[in-house]
Amino acid sequence: MPGITHRVLETNGIHLHVAEAGEGPLVLLLHGWPESWYSWRHQIPALAAAGFHVVAPDVRGYGGSSAPPEVEAYRMKELVADFVGLLNALGERTAVVIGHDWGAAMAWTCAALHPDRFRAVVGLSVPHLGRSPQPPIALFNTLFKDRWFYVLYFQEPGVAEAELEADIPRTIRTIFAGTPGFDVTAEAVRSRKPGDGFLTGVEPPARLPAWLTEEDLAFFSKEFAHSGFRGGLNRYRNMDRDWHELPELATVKIEQPALFVVGEKDPGRAFAPVDLMKPLVPHLQEMLVIPGAGHWIQQERPDEVNAALLRFLKSLPA
């Protein structure tokens, strides 16, 4: 894309491919599942034009970045170390960290554990909920009992990979433009039984939403044809490990300036109670709900998201 450069940097013993643009204070953009740096294609030029050095890595396991084979290589401690090391590789002391989906969880955790390195934080779609009262997988088993739930389906290595990689273009089209398996409010998802897959009962739509092009889908499909889905899925397989390794998340407060943005129709709102984050993020400046927007918020509604990000960034101390 014009104005965006690419390079590979070494951090925390691995290599991260990054897309970057602009000069000025560093802004780090962290994508979610199943995405890539390309999810920020509308934000990178806008933030760069406003006077920021914008860096969007492919998270480990994705795109052009290293993809270690071990499940535990994707625990939150390793991911946070990647991003602290990325600041070092860039020669920067601090950054504003912005994340979407799993990238939001990473951003919140970066801010919680390293307030000296991450001077402000923005979460898109996923709020900061601290630490659950019990390990997440046990909690999900209690909540969903015999009902199908995508996080539980993702736990067995190799199962979801085989399904999602069987026809990558179809998978990507269904997840981004159709009914994704994480939409627990959708009838096709609610009617699933144990043993069903992430794509069971749903079909890729013939027509794309206005915010998504065939070229966009082709880019994502090419990235996952290269990397596969295992790295991203391994993030879900570390939820209990994170719970045990990061007990401080139960009480630590994020004292930096913060912003939360979510789509009104994001299916994650059904099981991520936003109000729980308020005592953990006392300097949350705004909780913005964008009417009509879904989960892929920065791609669906780039103008509104960019305006909110720039309003927040320009409010920060120089």
| pLDDT tens column, 155-205 | 999 999 999 999 999 999 999 999 989 998 899 999 999 899 999 999 999
User: Hey, what amino acid is at 238?
Assistant: N
Residue-level pLDDT at 178: 94
Q: What is the pLDDT of residue 34?
A: 97
User: Which residue's structure tokens are 């052009």?
Assistant: 64
Domain extents in the chain: 5-315
State the pLDDT at residue 274: 82
Report pLDDT for 84.
98
Task: Give the Å distances, CA to CA, from 273 to 129, 130, 142, 257, 277.
Answer: 8, 12, 17, 20, 8
The H or E element that residue 85 is part of is helix 76-89
Question: How far, in Å, CA of 187 to CA of 165, rounded?
Answer: 24
Q: What is residue 230's predicted lDDT score, i.e. its pLDDT?
A: 98
Give the pairing of strands 26-30 and 14-21: unpaired
Q: What residues of the chain score a pLDDT lower than 70?
A: none
Q: What is the pLDDT of residue 276?
A: 83
Buried (b) or exposed (e) across 3-30, using 16+ Cβ within 10 A?
ebeeeebebbebebbbbbbbeebbbbbb
- Which pLDDT value is given to residue 108? 98
Topology adopted by domain 5-315: Rossmann fold (3.40.50)
Question: What positions carry a catalytic annotation?
Answer: 101, 295
For residue 83, the model assigns a pLDDT of: 98
Q: What is the pLDDT of residue 145?
A: 86
The count of C-alpha atoms lying within 13 angstroms of the C-alpha of 56, restricted to the half-sphere facing its C-beta, is 27
State the angle between helix axes of 76-89 and 102-113 in degrees (0 to 180), rounded to the nearest 10: 70
42-72 confidence digits (pLDDT tens): 999 999 999 999 999 999 999 999 999 999 9
d(CA 55, CA 5): 10
